[in-house]
């Protein structure tokens, strides 16, 4: 159900909204993680490397969806904060028509470019066929992935983070059962986990659609209310395009990083892939707290309550600091046990590389958490073009730094993680300067003058 973020203790409001969203994202992360665990245990290191090596290519296309759904979330949270329910329905109907068309175009594009991109990244020959097969099946199911992110984002924009969680838990558990059935019993290997993922995402779409149309009055659309409003589309694109470009630039940087990883061979590809899966779970609470702040800030700016929107930053940063402090001690101690889950206990080279990367990154997660907090605040108040600039700046630091460390200084595999941390530092710096400058003010879609604090 919808939630009003303009009332209540900011820390409690943000935390209680972030927790269901976090649990939901954990289950969403289980899609790719269970794929990797089952493939690693039943098919071996090369099959695991194939899935890991294809992730950056898949994210290149998904990034565009994430960007536009983030843009729609900004518009919806502000319109909802202003209590303009008629316009809210027009935003939703325009958004769903747009996202369906976009997903089909990008899915076809992904199928075409999968092979050439994998070859461009220097993917080893022994994993090329599996990596290409996995990617093409995932791109066939691209509309399903887009639609879930759209449904989840519009529910979260009005403060409902629980409903997407319930549907995602069901689809994630379905994915685990199908993964095991297709790989362990039918022997479909990499193809099996891809098919299982797509089928489970379709299930989550159906559940979300039925729920919205039966239970969420502010979004409940009659047949005649399905419209395509060009003015609203321009607003969605205005906020979503910078976010889409931002995510695309990040994904392109991941392609460069993947090429650096591939340079060190299959062991590093497997180790980096596993560490990324683990990192995905660790950074998720940080990102969810920041995303909760984005909705909190959007609703309060829409309601004309700037001081309350800013108070959310302090509350979020306190929670981020506590979590990162715990992770700095827990992750290095647990890294070997975590890597063993992927069926790599008998591969000392992969374990050594993975534990090195995990332990190094754990010391610097606070930088990631703080830059995400400020960046999502800027996005929530409508300063989305700056978020794009911040991402470009982060990549302009990370990629050259990684290249220098890998190919010139030749520090070895740790260079990949060192380059990542340098990017976090750069993004935190530029986000801090932007906030202190106050230039984020006046960027909101909804502008209310002289509203009460």
Q: What is the pLDDT of residues 213-248, one digit of tens each?
A: 777 776 776 777 777 778 878 877 777 777 677 667
pLDDT over threshold 80, residue 165: no
pLDDT over threshold 60, residue 373: yes
Q: What was the pLDDT predicted at 371?
A: 92
| 442 found inside a domain | no
Sign of the Cα torsion 399, 400, 402, 407 reads positive
Q: What is the mean pLDDT of the chain?
A: 81
pLDDT over threshold 80, residue 116: yes
Confidence band (pLDDT; 50, 70, 90) for 453?
very low
| 85 found inside a domain | yes
Cα separations in angstroms, 406 against 119, 197, 354, 365: 20, 35, 17, 22
| 19 found inside a domain | yes
Q: What was the pLDDT predicted at 53?
A: 67
CA atoms within 13 A on the CB side of 55: 25
| 306 found inside a domain | yes
What number of residues does the chain have? 453
Retrieve residue 204's tokens.
């989550």
Tell me the C-alpha distance between 428 and 422, whole Å. 10
| The pTM of the whole model exceeds 0.75 | no
What is the pLDDT averaged over residues 377-397? 82
Sign of the Cα torsion 88, 89, 91, 92 reads positive
Place of tokens 């729920």: 211
pLDDT over threshold 70, residue 345: no
Retrieve residue 69's tokens.
């759904």
What is the pLDDT averaged over residues 57-71? 73
The backbone torsions φ and ψ at residue 145, rounded to the nearest 5 degrees and listed phi first, read -65, -40
| 5 found inside a domain | no
Q: What was the pLDDT predicted at 322?
A: 93
| 322 found inside a domain | yes
Q: What is the pLDDT of residues 177-194, one digit of tens each?
A: 888 888 888 878 888 888
> Which residues does 185 contact at the CB level (< 8 Å), separation at least 6?
none
pLDDT over threshold 90, residue 381: no
> Which residues does 414 contact at the CB level (< 8 Å), separation at least 6?
356, 357, 360
Pairwise pLDDT comparison (30 vs 265), residue with the higher score: 265
Domain that holds residue 148: 10-437
The backbone torsions φ and ψ at residue 229, rounded to the nearest 5 degrees and listed phi first, read -90, 115
| 406 found inside a domain | yes
Tell me the C-alpha distance between 394 and 384, whole Å. 16
Dmax (CA) of the chain: 65
Number of domains within the chain: 1
Q: Using an 8 Å Cβ cutoff, are 161 and 21 in contact?
A: yes
Pick from 141-150, 180-189, 218-227, 370-379: least confident: 218-227
Q: What was the pLDDT predicted at 169?
A: 83
pLDDT over threshold 50, residue 448: no
| 451 found inside a domain | no
């Amino acid at each position: 159900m919808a939630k009003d973020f303009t009332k209540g203790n900011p820390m409690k409001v943000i935390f209680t909204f972030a927790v269901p969203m976090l649990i939901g994202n954990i289950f969403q992360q289980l899609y790719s993680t269970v794929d990797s665990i089952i493939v690693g245990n039943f098919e071996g290191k090369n099959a695991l490397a194939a899935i890991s090596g294809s992730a950056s290519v898949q994210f290149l296309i998904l990034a565009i969806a994430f960007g536009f759904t983030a843009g729609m979330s900004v518009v919806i949270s502000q319109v909802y904060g202003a209590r303009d329910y008629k316009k809210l329905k027009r935003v939703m109907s325009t958004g769903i028509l747009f996202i369906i068309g976009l997903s089909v175009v990008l899915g076809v594009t992904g199928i075409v470019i999968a092979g050439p991109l994998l070859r461009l990244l220097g993917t080893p020959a022994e994993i090329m066929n599996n990596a290409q097969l996995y990617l093409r099946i995932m791109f066939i199911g691209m509309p399903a992935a887009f639609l879930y992110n759209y449904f989840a984002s519009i529910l979260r924009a009005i403060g409902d983070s629980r409903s997407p969680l319930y549907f995602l838990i069901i689809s994630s558990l379905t994915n685990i059962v199908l993964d095991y059935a297709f790989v362990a019993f039918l022997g479909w290997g990499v193809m099996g986990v891809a098919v299982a993922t797509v089928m489970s995402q379709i299930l989550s779409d159906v559940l979300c659609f039925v729920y919205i149309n039966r239970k969420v009055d502010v979004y409940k659309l009659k047949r005649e209310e399905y419209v395509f409003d060009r003015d609203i589309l321009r607003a969605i694109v205005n906020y979503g395009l910078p976010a889409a470009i931002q995510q695309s630039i990040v994904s392109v940087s991941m392609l460069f990083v993947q090429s650096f990883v591939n340079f060190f061979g299959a062991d590093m590809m497997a180790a980096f892939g596993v560490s990324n899966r683990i990192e995905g779970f660790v950074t998720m609470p940080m990102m969810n707290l920041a995303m909760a702040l984005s909705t909190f800030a959007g609703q309060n700016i829409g309601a004309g309550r700037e001081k309350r929107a800013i108070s959310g930053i302090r509350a979020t940063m306190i929670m981020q600091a506590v979590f990162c402090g715990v992770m700095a001690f827990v992750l290095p101690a647990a890294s070997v046990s975590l890597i063993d889950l992927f069926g790599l206990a008998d591969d000392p080279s992969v374990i050594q590389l993975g534990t090195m990367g995990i332990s190094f990154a754990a010391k610097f997660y606070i930088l990631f958490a703080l830059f995400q907090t400020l960046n999502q605040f800027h996005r929530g108040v409508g300063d989305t073009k700056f978020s794009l600039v911040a991402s470009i700046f982060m990549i302009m630091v990370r990629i050259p730094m990684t290249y220098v460390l890998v190919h010139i200084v030749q520090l070895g595999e740790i260079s990949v993680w060192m380059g990542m941390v340098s990017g976090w530092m750069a993004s935190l710096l530029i986000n801090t300067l932007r906030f202190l400058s106050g230039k984020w003010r006046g960027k909101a879609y909804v502008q209310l003058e002289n509203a009460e604090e």
